[in-house]
């Protein structure tokens, strides 16, 4: 079962609405762009879910990079997964399945508001 703070984005209107909310909110958000057919993405997905369970104060948005969503991003499938950390108008991109870097980024976003 997915944590309640993990949301799947399947179309442009949902993407636009949730990203606009992230930019207008003080809640930290992680946007995870992946393709479940790629081995690196398959291996990283459970780690992302576990991090989401441990950090309920962070919103996690998941985009399956496919024909319906590919026009939303300037990434190529061989660059996936891509993680974008967002807090207000601040954003940071992490290329690849780097859990340590993601955890540091999430901690930084949470500590910034204290």
Q: What is the pLDDT of residues 39-85, one digit of tens each?
A: 999 999 999 999 999 999 999 999 888 766 666 566 666 778 989 99
Structure tokens that stand for 81 in this block: 């997964």
Question: Which pTM does this prediction carry?
Answer: 0.86
Per-residue CA distances from 30 to 36, 59, 62, 94 (Å): 17, 6, 8, 10
Q: How far apart are the first and last CA of the chain?
A: 30
**Site of tokens 């993407």:** 15
Parse the chain into domains and list their residue ranges.
6-112
Q: What residues have CB less than 8 Å from 8, skipping those under 6 apart?
A: 62, 63, 64
Q: What is the pLDDT of residues 83-114, one digit of tens each?
A: 999 998 888 999 889 999 999 999 999 988 65
6-112 homologous superfamily: Glutaredoxin (3.40.30.10)
């Amino acid at each position: 079962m997915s944590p309640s703070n993990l949301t799947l984005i399947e179309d442009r209107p949902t993407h636009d609405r949730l990203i606009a909310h992230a930019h207008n909110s003080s809640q930290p958000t992680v946007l995870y762009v992946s393709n479940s057919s790629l081995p690196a993405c398959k291996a990283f997905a459970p780690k992302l879910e576990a991090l989401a369970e441990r950090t309920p104060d962070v919103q996690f948005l998941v985009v399956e990079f496919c024909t319906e969503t590919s026009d939303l991003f300037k990434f190529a499938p061989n660059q996936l997964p891509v993680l974008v950390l967002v807090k207000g108008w601040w954003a940071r991109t992490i290329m690849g399945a780097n859990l340590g870097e993601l955890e540091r980024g999430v901690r930084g976003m949470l500590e910034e508001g204290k």
